[in-house]
Amino acid sequence: MDTTELTGSYTYRSFLDLTEPVDDFNKLRFAQLELTLTVGPDGAVSGALVFPTPPEAGLLAMDMVGTATAGPDVRFTLTGKGRPNTPIADFHYAYDGIALRHWEAGTDQRLTLAGTVLRVENHGSGPALAHAGQTASFLAVNRDL
């Protein structure tokens, strides 16, 4: 697989890494967002991780930059930072992932990215403070046909 094949729009979902069984799958939910990526021939990655908001609230997104490398597996690293002058301006996350295997005999399979995410810096304040160091696992499923 060529790294440029990562270019596209994805449904991004991240999950808390809890070890105990849960009675409600939503207890694992960390985020559900839209991820767009553009990968150049040199492996440079740019894009956005867009938060769901009503149209009147304006676009709420983190700008994504990083690199992708080809090999036995396509790997990528990304840094996401909230856009200035938005409620998420202080968001800063790091991502490490791979493109999952494409099964030759699979049906209705989509390109899926998987990996881990790390909250690099604290964001928010008071009771809404989200501490640096939080990790989660993620899957991003390509929406493009």
Residues 23 and 53: their CA atoms lie apart, in Å, by: 28
pLDDT of residue 145: 62
pLDDT of residue 125: 84
Residue 137 backbone dihedrals phi, psi, to 5 degrees = -100, 150
pLDDT of residue 100: 96
Which helix (DSSP H) or strand (DSSP E) does residue 11 occupy? strand 8-16
pLDDT of residue 53: 87
Beta strands in 53-100 (DSSP E): 61-69, 75-82, 92-99
Residues 15 and 2: their CA atoms lie apart, in Å, by: 28
Residue 113: name the closest of 23, 36, 55, 58 by CA. Answer: 36
Coil vs helix vs strand at 96: strand
pLDDT of residue 144: 85
Residue 39 CA neighbour count, 13 Å, CB half: 21
Collect contacts of 16-23 with beta carbons under 8 A, ≥24 apart: 16/136, 17/135, 17/136, 17/137
Mean pLDDT by 10 residues, the chain (145 residues): 95 96 94 97 97 85 97 95 93 97 90 97 90 96 87
Residue 108 CA neighbour count, 13 Å, CB half: 0
